[in-house]
Amino acid sequence: MSNHILPDMFNNKWTSINNGIQTILVDNNQHPRYADIIKIINSVSKMKNGNQQLYNRIRETISLHLKSKVLVDVLNSLNKNFLAILDKCWTNYKKSMILLKDMLMCMGKYLKSNNLEPIDNVGISLFLDIIIQHDRIKNYLRKRLLIMVIKYRKHKIIKYSALKNACQMLVELGLTDEHVYEEVFERPFLALSRKFYYNKSQILFKNHIHSYYIFIAKMNAIIEAKLAKHFLHISTKRRIIEVVNDELIKKHILTIIDIKRRGCIFSKGYRIINKALHINDIKCMFELFDDYIYGPRILSHFLKKYLVEQLKIVENKNKRQLNPVTYVQRLLDVNSKLNCLLCYSLYKNNEIFKKTIFSTFKHFINLHPKFPEYLSLFIDKNVQEKKCFGSEKNKKKTPILDQVVVLFKFLQDIYVFKKYYKQHLAKRLLSKCFNEDNEKNMISNLKTEFGDQFTSKFEGMVKDIAKSNTIMDLFKINLTASQSLNCTNIDLSVCVLTTEFWSLPTSSTKCNIPNIAYLPYEEFKTFYLSKNYGHKLQIQPQLGSAEIIFNKNYMNTRNVHKNLLEVSTYQMAILMLFNSFNKITMETIMKKTKINENDLTRELQLLVTGKLSQRILLKSPNIKEIKPHHEFCINELFSCLKIHLITTEEENKLELRKTKEMVEEDRKHEIQAVLVRIMKVHKKLTHNNLTMEVTDQLRRRFVPSPMLINKCIERLIENGYLRRSPKNRNTYIYVA
């Protein structure tokens, strides 16, 4: 028998096959003669052109079923339970396609060799073309889905399963991609969402809901992400979040964080830093803006703008009040608030903003020429407090001198700070306010930040005081044994200071110390030199202090009032003169005490300033300026029981100039050392290259001026370490 199919034979076989397919399509159930139909299909597929004719006939049958039955049912359901009927038709149809695929398994090899779609894919394509792409159905389906989204956003009840099933159907109809889902639903959905959130942003700004704006934006992104994740396709989640961020955040980014124009949460968050609402707002803002490519950069710009404004406020307040300690405290407060903000916002790109804070602080602080002195004065004021450092027991609040460590990082010229710190440390160590534990903690902090070399002299100064205490104990034991009369009316305390650590002048500063203090000192000197052969002691009155009792006969009555005065050695020498004089001019005081004019003027100024009851001396004439012919006398109305006249104050212009000269002198040695080190490596360098290398190597410690570098180069040429090139005087050659 020939394998060629005769029309009558095929028609007879097709009638049986068609009945089976119709049963599956209508009832989505197996035909009672399912096995027999598969045998018939197998026999047809083995005949010539049987597979092709069978494939075409089945396609026509499915198409006819969709047009005559499914399409009619779906169109009739418009405005009447549409989504439920469409979902039912699709679910039944999918089951039918699975049965058809199994029934036509024998055609698999033919379909593959002829690049034909499997019958279930053909069925899906037909359902898409005939049902979903029908104009009325497609438009109505899109309309119903978007209405459900609108209701969802208005917090109304919707059938989430219907929304989810419809979206899933559109995805499945796309077979290998999401083009059907995107065309029918996602693109219109995103367009609707963009318009919705644009209008929402306008309403929010119109109603001035600035404080809650970021929170609302964040919550809307979360709500839309939840909708996409659970009821739409997963690919929509990222796209809808982008729409929300675009319309609520990115298009209004400057409006949201412009502090001056809107006064929005970015600035409020700093002013009310402890309120959880603002912290959460800022946290949300950081997270949302991070999704925007320029978000961190714009936030960083406005953070810098805000920080500069705050620092200018601090600077202006300092100009009015001129209080170094308050100035540094305000800087710490600003820095603490910013760090608190970044800490509580838990922002993943904190490093960007930390760099902004650091660079802005550093630039601003180093514009202030007196900041190193102010920082040292701040430490001087606080290091004398008992609880200025933290403990293991109480870590909740960071003590003030643990906080101040952060300001060390902003110092550009550590040499100037070192000079002031050394001066102030010396005054503390030589006074009764010295707290050894606090000083050691502070020096430890400085060592951590700047290294051992920076603090070596500070540590030596502290050790000198400890050694001096031991020496004084031995001296007092010796006094008791010798029963010396020179020390009966005075409690002497001598600090033996090492010149290397304390930067003392080579010669003793002139001052005629009263015998009541000088004779005991001479006895101590004899004792010390007997124990330390080869050492030399020179008295340094500019560093000393004294406690003297002021016996005042109030208004010439018999009642004698005693006042304890804590004064400098210079002030002691001045006041002791009034045991012999009722009135005395500045010129006479200078001759009697041998104190130089500048120091004497400063000390007298301290003795005649303050309230009337706090002035030890009165001056005639009563003007601010002090001249050699002005007279001084004891203030009979002085009534303070105890007064402290040794103060650590901000330097005047003359002292500031001297400090700068001392710092510059110290710098010269380091610059010369760096110059020699560089030239030893390179052997030959031009002036510009040498200057650049020196500046680069010293940048972390200080920035040397070109003039100072030139002076150091000239000094090295004079000393024979360098010479100029005969061919080019701007080129230097190292002399080995």
90-107 pLDDT tens trace: 988 888 888 888 777 777
**E strands, 424-507, in order:** none
The fraction of the chain above a pLDDT of 90, given in percent, is 9
| 475-480 contacts at long range (C-beta below 8 A, 24 or more positions apart) | 475/524, 475/527, 475/528, 478/527, 479/523
Q: Using alpha carbons, list the distances in angstroms from residue 449 to 285, 444, 446.
A: 34, 9, 5
Fold that domain 7-206 belongs to in CATH: 5 helical Cullin repeat like (1.20.1310)
Q: Quick one: pLDDT band at residue 116, thresholds 50, 70, 90?
A: confident
Q: Among 196-210, 342-356, 496-510, which is the least confidently predicted range?
A: 342-356
Distance separating alpha carbons of residues 442 and 380, to the nearest angstrom: 10
Greater confidence, 487 or 538? Answer: 538
pLDDT at 262: 44
Q: How confident is the model over 251-255, as a mean pLDDT? A: 75
Greater confidence, 72 or 435? Answer: 72
Q: Tell me which range, 33-47, 658-672, 712-726, is most confidently predicted by mean pLDDT.
A: 712-726
Q: Among 36-40, 190-194, 361-365, 583-587, which is the least confidently predicted range?
A: 36-40
562-619 pLDDT tens trace: 778 888 899 999 999 999 998 999 999 999 999 998 889 989 998 998 888 888 899 9
pLDDT above 70: residue 627? yes
Range(s) of the chain covered by CATH 3.30.230.130: 544-649
Range(s) of the chain covered by CATH 1.20.1310.10: 7-206
Which residues lie closer than 8 Å to 159 by C-beta, 6 or more apart? 83, 148
- Of 212, 217, 228, 357, residue with least CA distance to 278: 212
Which residues lie closer than 8 Å to 142 by C-beta, 6 or more apart? 184, 185, 188
Q: How confident is the model over 510-525, as a mean pLDDT? A: 88
pLDDT above 50: residue 261? no
Q: Extract the tokens encoding 502.
A: 């304390």
Q: Among 186-195, 265-274, 435-444, which is the least confidently predicted range?
A: 265-274
Distance separating alpha carbons of residues 345 and 352, to the nearest angstrom: 14
Element (H, E) at 643: strand 642-644
Average per-residue pLDDT in the chain?
80
Q: Among 132-136, 406-410, 555-559, which is the least confidently predicted range?
A: 555-559
Q: Helix or strand or coil: residue 669? A: helix
Q: How confident is the model over 431-456, as a mean pLDDT? A: 85
Q: How confident is the model over 549-573, as a mean pLDDT? A: 75
Q: How confident is the model over 377-387, as a mean pLDDT? A: 80
pLDDT at 294: 63
pLDDT at 253: 72
CB 633 within 8 A of CB 617: yes
pLDDT at 641: 60
Cα torsion 408, 412, 416, 421 to 10°: value is 0
pLDDT at 590: 93
pLDDT at 276: 43
DSSP 359-398: HHHHHHHHHSTTHHHHHHHHHHHHTTSTTSS--SS--SS-
CATH number given to 544-649: 3.30.230.130
pLDDT at 263: 43
Q: Which parts of 636-686 fold into alpha helices (H)?
A: 653-682
- Of 670, 679, 688, residue with least CA distance to 721: 679
Greater confidence, 262 or 622? Answer: 622
Q: How confident is the model over 534-544, as a mean pLDDT? A: 87
> Given phi > 0 = left and psi -120 to 50 = alpha, else beta, which region is 118?
beta
Range(s) of the chain covered by CATH 1.10.10.10: 654-734
Kindly report whether the global pTM for this prediction surpasses the value 0.95: no
Q: Extract the tokens encoding 527.
A: 């004792």
Distance separating alpha carbons of residues 260 and 306, to the nearest angstrom: 10
pLDDT at 592: 93
pLDDT at 392: 44
pLDDT above 60: residue 554? no
CATH number given to 654-734: 1.10.10.10
Q: Extract the tokens encoding 312.
A: 């200018």
Q: Quick one: pLDDT band at residue 260, thresholds 50, 70, 90?
A: very low
pLDDT above 70: residue 406? yes
| 278-282 contacts at long range (C-beta below 8 A, 24 or more positions apart) | 278/211, 279/341, 279/344, 279/345, 280/215, 281/211, 281/212, 281/213, 281/214, 281/215, 282/214, 282/341, 282/345
pLDDT above 80: residue 46? no
412-432 pLDDT tens trace: 878 888 888 888 888 888 876
